Chain A
Amino acid sequence: MPSRRLSPRSRALLFLLIGVVLLAASRFIGELRTYQGAQVAVYMIAIASIILLTGYSGQISLGHGAIMAIGGYGAALSFTLWNFPFEIALLFGVLVGTVGGVLLGVAAARLSGPYLAGTTLALAVGLPTIADQFHVLGGEQGLNFDIGDPPHWVVRLGGSDFTQYKWFFWISTVVALIALWGITNLLHSSYGRNWRAGRNNAVAAGLAGIDVARGKVTAFAVSSALASLAGALFALLLGLVTPTAFPLSLSFAIVTGAVLAGVGNLTGSIVGGVVLVAIPEISGALTTHLGNSQKVSANLPGLVMSSLLILVVLFMPNGLRIRKFKK
């Protein structure tokens, strides 16, 4: 990764610099693009959760959409029920999602490849139905998570034309940068080394004194924390959570994003996030060009995405980047 040669302090400075530049840039960007920027940031966190899980710990999840739903519901519930401020609500969502991730991770550590994929897939299908069972989760209508207008100090800082979308962009960008900074440090710590060791050769890692099973559970927990954070932010961008807001296709999309970006490297999450937002946008433009057929507009993004996914798996297992995968 590019930050490999950086010391922790200069890495922190780099992230800070990126943040300041992005926030300053948001003044000159249109509403739609700002919202898309916020989406990219959220997808980045979600994709980073898969990269961490698959690339570093060797596990797979087709159910991270469900973990995102836990995060989103946790945040929205604490926001509407107990009137938590939204910052605390986001953290609460992460807390609930992490607990869920630990429970799932304990089971996941004992499963491999297709079994884990199928099990998490069943979770992604099954979990959203809980919302219908409990009145407190709002049923089909879901829960409100409208954080309202930006507070005064932000407006003073951002200028008088500071809109809600820009506020969303600020929140998502700052949260994403903090999260990625934390994860980069974690991956460079003994945790990250142990995960990679366990992934590359479980027996050898075990002989070297690494508790591989526990490492898998921790990796799943950290990955779930990230996914639930992404879910909480996702809910914030939507302004609400519903059972249908976290469909199976979301789980597939973030896995696709991670594979396209290359699961071997955390920096790829940026590529993945941009790709997930850009493909529907580009397909939309292309559809207009092709004469606005309903069939084309509904299916072109999926077609492009799936074709890319297959091509990448077959020909570029390191993702859409030139850098070689290193063990």
Chain B
Amino acid sequence: MFIDTLLIGVSSGAIYSLMALALVLVWRSTRVVNFAQSGQAVLSTYIGYEISARTHNYWISLPLAILAGAILGSLVDLLFMRLLLGRAKSGPIGEIAPVIATLGLLGLIQSFIGLIWGNAFLHYASPLSGKGFTFGSHTIPFSPQNLFIVIASAAVLAIFGIIFKYTDLGLALRAASFQPEIAQLAGIRVNRIRNIGWAFAGAAGAVAGAVITPTSTLSPNSLDLLFVSGFIAAVIGGLDSLVGAVVGGLVLGIGFSFILQYIGGSVTFLVGFIILMVVLLIRPRGIFGNKVSRRA
């Protein structure tokens, strides 16, 4: 039972990590918490669903959904965030303008999805079984799809890790988020790099949406709770830290899984809220966050 719960926790934790990673990528590049992230992810998933419905092939739809997510992320930055950050810096809603604007974008994307696909629950099927593995007579809740979720998430995280650590692009991404002006002076095109950060974030969210959705149903709001979990995970790990996002996601996923198993599903988000409060009040920069205070 313990191992079962742990495995399910790792599977949902992997998804939270991806969502947290998406939030961290945007935060590092633009200093904005993108509340529209779940909307972008769900739109990419709908695109994947549409392709899968036409081609009857999940494996074709998955990479295209990820590509769509990346393009979408890039477009949100180009068409929306630049305009916003250029305009709404002061005034009555000053520093909360990005929060409000990304919420507006979330609503816009979700109602747009509703207009095109309707609000009914859709099934984005994957060829992998959702039934648990069986060992002898014992069936565990961990299914092939869960295994795929873990593998896909690990692959994405590894790819990002390699990009950030070993490539020039990764170096530019880190420099642009660390000191944008100095990076600019050193010849990095900060705006373009920033845009790539948004595209990566969109892709990470799309992977999360496209691999988790086959285990449940698809609707315009189906990834909203994932955003909240991703946010909590990102804050636990430190909004600045990519490693933190992964660790935060896994901690939260495993924690939620045990709460679900031993206490009951309905309190998970309340516990999530309490964890969030405790982390923010005791260690506001998170486990892996850098030393600069994030409160100011």
User: Interface residues, chain A, CB within 8 Å of chain B?
Assistant: 54-55, 58, 60, 62, 107, 110-115, 117-119, 121-123, 125-127, 129-130, 132-133, 248, 252, 255-256, 259, 262-264, 294-296, 298-303, 305-307, 309-310, 313-315, 317-318, 325
Report how far A255 CA is from B284 CA in the complex, Å: 26
Residues of chain B in range 275-290 having any CB-CB distance to chain A below 8 Å:
276-277, 280-281, 284
Q: Are A317 and B33 in contact (CB-based, < 8 A)?
A: no
- Least distance between A52 CB and chain B CB atoms (Å): 13
Q: Are B231 and A122 in contact (CB-based, < 8 A)?
A: yes
Q: Are B88 and A130 in contact (CB-based, < 8 A)?
A: no
User: Lowest 8 A-B CB distances belong to which pairs?
Assistant: A306-B107, A302-B111, A299-B114, A114-B33, A309-B104, A126-B269, A126-B270, A317-B91
Q: Are B276 and A302 in contact (CB-based, < 8 A)?
A: no
Partner of B95, one of A112, A252, A302, A315: A112
Report how far A62 CA is from B276 CA in the complex, Å: 15
Q: Are A123 and B273 in contact (CB-based, < 8 A)?
A: yes
Does B169 sit within 8 A of A, measured CB to CB? no
Q: Are B270 and A299 in contact (CB-based, < 8 A)?
A: no
Does B151 sit within 8 A of A, measured CB to CB? no
Does B105 sit within 8 A of A, measured CB to CB? yes
Residues of chain B in range 48-102 having any CB-CB distance to chain A below 8 Å:
80, 83-84, 87-88, 91-101
Known contacts A118-B235, A259-B93; A307 and B276 CB within 8 A of each other: no
Q: Are B101 and A313 in contact (CB-based, < 8 A)?
A: yes
Residues of chain B in range 211-264 having any CB-CB distance to chain A below 8 Å:
224-225, 228, 231-232, 235, 264
Q: Are A112 and B276 in contact (CB-based, < 8 A)?
A: no
- Least distance between A301 CB and chain B CB atoms (Å): 8
Partner of B272, one of A60, A111, A112, A126: A126
Q: Are B92 and A306 in contact (CB-based, < 8 A)?
A: no
Does B295 sit within 8 A of A, measured CB to CB? yes
Q: Are B99 and A117 in contact (CB-based, < 8 A)?
A: yes
Q: Are B281 and A110 in contact (CB-based, < 8 A)?
A: yes
Query: Which residues of chain B are within 8 angstroms of A110 by Cβ–Cβ distance?
Result: 280-281, 284, 295
Q: Are B96 and A119 in contact (CB-based, < 8 A)?
A: no
Report how far A133 CA is from B294 CA in the complex, Å: 35
Give me 13 A-to-B residue pairs in the complex whose CB atoms sit less than 8 angstroms apart, sorted by A's number.
A55-B92, A112-B295, A122-B272, A126-B273, A129-B266, A129-B268, A133-B267, A252-B103, A263-B93, A295-B115, A298-B114, A310-B101, A325-B92
Q: Are A115 and B107 in contact (CB-based, < 8 A)?
A: no
Query: Which residues of chain A are within 8 angstroms of B83 by Cβ–Cβ distance?
Result: 314
Report how far A121 CA is from B108 CA in the complex, Å: 18
Q: Are A114 and B99 in contact (CB-based, < 8 A)?
A: yes
Known contacts A125-B225, A126-B270, A252-B103; A313 and B111 CB within 8 A of each other: no
User: Interface residues, chain B, CB within 8 Å of chain A?
Assistant: 32-33, 35, 80, 83-84, 87-88, 91-101, 103-108, 110-112, 114-116, 118-119, 224-225, 228, 231-232, 235, 264, 266-273, 276-277, 280-281, 284, 294-296
The dominant DSSP class at the A interface is helix
Q: Are B97 and A118 in contact (CB-based, < 8 A)?
A: no
B109 (CB) vs chain A CBs: closest residue: A306
A63 (CB) vs chain B CBs: closest residue: B273
A294 (CB) vs chain B CBs: closest residue: B118
Q: Are A298 and B119 in contact (CB-based, < 8 A)?
A: yes
Report how far A317 CA is from B93 CA in the complex, Å: 7
- Least distance between B118 CB and chain A CB atoms (Å): 5
Query: Which residues of chain A are within 8 angstroms of B114 by Cβ–Cβ distance?
Result: 295, 298-299, 302
Q: Are A317 and B107 in contact (CB-based, < 8 A)?
A: no
Q: Are B108 and A307 in contact (CB-based, < 8 A)?
A: yes
Q: Are B104 and A306 in contact (CB-based, < 8 A)?
A: yes
A-B contact count (CB 8 A): 164
Q: Are B93 and A314 in contact (CB-based, < 8 A)?
A: no
Q: Are B108 and A306 in contact (CB-based, < 8 A)?
A: yes
Query: Which residues of chain B are within 8 angstroms of A132 by Cβ–Cβ distance?
Result: 266
Report how far A126 CA is from B259 CA in the complex, Å: 14
Query: Which residues of chain B are within 8 angstroms of A129 by Cβ–Cβ distance?
Result: 266-270
Q: Are B119 and A299 in contact (CB-based, < 8 A)?
A: yes
- Least distance between B207 CB and chain A CB atoms (Å): 22
Query: Which residues of chain A are within 8 angstroms of B295 by Cβ–Cβ distance?
Result: 110-112, 115
Report how far A127 CA is from B269 CA in the complex, Å: 8
Q: Are B270 and A130 in contact (CB-based, < 8 A)?
A: yes
- Least distance between B164 CB and chain A CB atoms (Å): 23
Known contacts A255-B103, A314-B83; A264 and B111 CB within 8 A of each other: no
Report how far A111 CA is from B239 CA in the complex, Å: 14
Report how far A132 CA is from B106 CA in the complex, Å: 28
A66 (CB) vs chain B CBs: closest residue: B273
Report how far A21 CA is from B236 CA in the complex, Å: 54
Query: Which residues of chain B are within 8 angstroms of A309 by Cβ–Cβ distance?
Result: 100-101, 103-104, 107
Query: Which residues of chain B are within 8 angstroms of A325 by Cβ–Cβ distance?
Result: 91-92
Q: Are B118 and A314 in contact (CB-based, < 8 A)?
A: no
Query: Which residues of chain A are within 8 angstroms of B276 by Cβ–Cβ distance?
Result: 118-119, 122
Q: Are A107 and B280 in contact (CB-based, < 8 A)?
A: yes
Q: Are B32 and A114 in contact (CB-based, < 8 A)?
A: yes
Query: Which residues of chain A are within 8 angstroms of B96 by Cβ–Cβ distance?
Result: 54, 60, 113, 117
Report how far A317 CA is from B280 CA in the complex, Å: 29
B275 (CB) vs chain A CBs: closest residue: A122
Q: Are B107 and A305 in contact (CB-based, < 8 A)?
A: yes
Partner of B228, one of A121, A127, A295: A121
- Least distance between B96 CB and chain A CB atoms (Å): 5
Query: Which residues of chain B are within 8 angstroms of A55 by Cβ–Cβ distance?
Result: 92
Query: Which residues of chain A are within 8 angstroms of B232 by Cβ–Cβ distance?
Result: 118, 122
Most A CB contacts (10 A, CB to CB) among B100, B112, B115, B224 go to B100
